[in-house]
Amino acid sequence: MNPGLLLCFLLIFLPVFEVAQVQVAHPASPAQSVNTVGKAMPPDAAPLARQVYSFHLPEPTTLDIGIAVYEATGAVFSFEGLTRLDHNNELMPAAADRWESSPDGTRWTFHLRRGAKWSDGRPVTAHDFEYAFKRMVDPASANRNASFYYEIEGAKAFNQGQTRDTDTVGVRAIDDYTLEIRTTLPCPYLPYIASFPTSVPVPRWQVEKYGPGWSEPGRFVTNSTFKLAAWDHGARFEFVLDPNYNGPHRGYVERIIGKFLDTRMMAGGTLSYENDEIDQQDVTPIDLPRIRSHPELSRELHVSKDFMTHFLFFNADFPPFDNLMVRQAISHAIDREAICRVLLQGMGMPAWSMLPPGFPGYAGGKYRDIQRFDPERARQRLREAGYAEGRGFPRIEMWINNIARQQVGQAIQEMLKSHLGIEMTIRVVENISYRTAQYQRKIPFSLIQYHYDYPDPNNMLAMVWRSQPAGYSRHPWINAEFDRLVDEAASEMDAARRFRLYDQAQRILSEDVGAVFLYYGKKASLRKPWLKGIKRDRDGEYPFWGNNTGYFDIYIGDAGP
């Protein structure tokens, strides 16, 4: 059985799902060194002075990840939620030692770890989580991921302004160590939602004192094994181990240094990595030929699966994309095999539906025919839409928020012109501006990706494609039958039937061309040989860089720089 599906069965059919207490590690032997928070270091670890991990990222505009996940990119390790996913995508304890559900699956109780402290020494309590969850859905917070929590009782009504009473949101601290979350309907995947990096507490006293500036240096209080030590705007930030942290996910490395890089420079190039300025770097397909032919870099290249789907989406509210035949024509005009083989250098495989290979509910190739590459069929659909050979078709603009995808955009631009006579321009938009425009429904046509948040079909189907009013969802596509199916599946307690419902919804998404599915991405990264501790999953791959758990496992080996 698929491990993700097995976990889903466990969550659904065990009326009380309790995670065992984490065993306390045995003290280190006299010959074994420990780091500054008392964690025993591996035998091959370099001295503590060299336990520094460095990487590149675009500078965050805030570290308030609970309500600004896109703006706080790169700092997911700074907080600890109730639960966490391990390298096998299985749930494990984090701020909560254990949890259980009511028999009907609508009430979840999380029992917090005793003795947990914030980085300023205050105790972490269930009241902090209650405040944070209600803040996540407060319309005043302008959280673009608020719909992520609509399963919680009263969350949608509060977020969309139907009530101003925070007490109607089904989250409450029963006492300092017990948090209750109530859902409107049975929600077997609620512990997964609790594992998402935005599902974290915030220090109310700092938020209310400093407002949006509470995450600046000198004010930023966290509950993870790492705390902020410095933030040099325009240059870098630095996190260090926090001795106040008493949980199961203490880090090995003494410092994490994020070096800020202009997003316009993130389309390619490995100079910083080759100069040993950073320890790891994601690479784009444009760099792969040189890396694969390089005697040293080729040995440091790692390719792994990644639950990530790349697709085109439309603003289906406006012409010409409100016409299904236009959307179908575009879907049949794109040669996915050529994109994967030539442009991506094998770092992707053709996609025909939303859920990627290995993900629970993956449909395999059974939807391949729906959006297959077929230029004649594409031209026929465009003729039926009234735009034979592209005559009269308005000039369209494709938005992208990552210059690294520009080559794929240019390939699609050429395919649409060659097969359909459609003229298209490309507009590269900075990520934060892009996200704002996306939620405001100002993007007509776009190439984008979606990376999973947790391994359940609800995440990549309902969370992304279930229709919501403008301002509350990612995509302006509405299909009543799709909505009905994902809503029914979300609270279905019979796992087999639940997955059938999601499968039907996935077919509708492909047939109605809510998106043109292009390819499932893989992750390619360069990794220094001294960067240790990255765990293989059960399939023998390294999922670390898509999972913030890995930051607590890495260390610098004794062959380090």
**pLDDT tens, residue by residue, 412-438:** 999 999 999 999 999 999 888 998 898
Domains of the chain by start residue, with CATH:
305-521 (3.10.105.10)
User: 274 with 294: CB under 8 angstroms?
Assistant: no
Q: Which residues of 196-233 are buried (b: 16+ CB within 10 A; e: fewer)?
A: bbbbbbbbeebbeeeeeebbeeeebbbbbbbbbeebee
- What pLDDT was estimated at residue 432? 83
User: 309 with 488: CB under 8 angstroms?
Assistant: no
Query: For residue 493, which amino acid is it?
Result: M
What's the mean pLDDT in 161-172?
Answer: 96
pLDDT tens-digit series, residues 192-227: 999 998 999 999 999 999 999 999 999 999 999 999
User: 398 with 446: CB under 8 angstroms?
Assistant: yes
What's the mean pLDDT in 499-516?
Answer: 97
- What pLDDT was estimated at residue 544? 53
CA 397 to chain centre: 26
Whether residue 560 has pLDDT greater than 80: no
Q: Give all strands (DSSP E) within 469-514, no chain letters.
A: none
Rounded to whole angstroms, the Cα distance separating 200 from 67 reads: 10
- Residue 380's contacts (CB-CB under 8 Å, 6 or more residues apart) are none
What's the mean pLDDT in 392-407?
Answer: 91
- What pLDDT was estimated at residue 28? 46
Determine phi and psi for 519, rounding to 5 degrees.
-160, 155
- What pLDDT was estimated at residue 543? 66
- What pLDDT was estimated at residue 548? 55
What's the mean pLDDT in 2-20?
Answer: 37
- What pLDDT was estimated at residue 32? 62
What's the mean pLDDT in 162-166?
Answer: 95
pTM metric for this prediction: 0.86
Residues linked to residue 236 through DSSP beta bridges, in sequence order = 232, 259
- What pLDDT was estimated at residue 228? 97
User: 426 with 406: CB under 8 angstroms?
Assistant: yes
- What pLDDT was estimated at residue 305? 83
pLDDT tens-digit series, residues 101-134: 999 999 999 999 999 999 999 999 999 999 999 9
Rounded to whole angstroms, the Cα distance separating 460 from 83 reads: 20
- What pLDDT was estimated at residue 73? 79
Whether residue 14 has pLDDT greater than 50: no
Other beta carbons within 10 angstroms of residue 138's beta carbon come to 18
Residues linked to residue 18 through DSSP beta bridges, in sequence order = none
Confidence category of residue 4, pLDDT binned at 50, 70, 90: very low
Confidence category of residue 21, pLDDT binned at 50, 70, 90: very low
pLDDT tens-digit series, residues 449-460: 999 988 999 999
What's the mean pLDDT in 75-84?
Answer: 93
- What pLDDT was estimated at residue 232? 96
CA 423 to chain centre: 33
Give, in order, the Cα–Cα distances in Å from 450 to each of 327, 331, 360, 515, 519: 20, 18, 16, 12, 11
- What pLDDT was estimated at residue 264? 52
Length of the chain: 561
Write down the mean pLDDT value for the chain: 90
pLDDT tens-digit series, residues 212-271: 999 999 999 999 999 999 999 999 999 999 999 999 999 999 999 999 987 554 456 899
Whether residue 400 has pLDDT greater than 60: yes
Rg (CA), the chain: 24
- What pLDDT was estimated at residue 279? 96
Rounded to whole angstroms, the Cα distance separating 340 from 392 reads: 32
Least confident of 10-14, 311-315, 325-329, 491-495: 10-14
Burial class of 82 by CB neighbour count within 10 A (0 to 12, 13 to 18, 19+) = buried
Q: Which residues of 237-255 are buried (b: 16+ CB within 10 A; e: fewer)?
A: bbbbbbebbebbbbbbbbb
Q: Which two tokens stand for residue 97?
A: 């030692």
- What pLDDT was estimated at residue 1? 41
- What pLDDT was estimated at residue 275? 95
- Residue 244's contacts (CB-CB under 8 Å, 6 or more residues apart) are 117, 118, 119, 121, 227
- Residue 360's contacts (CB-CB under 8 Å, 6 or more residues apart) are 2, 4, 5, 8, 455, 456, 457, 499
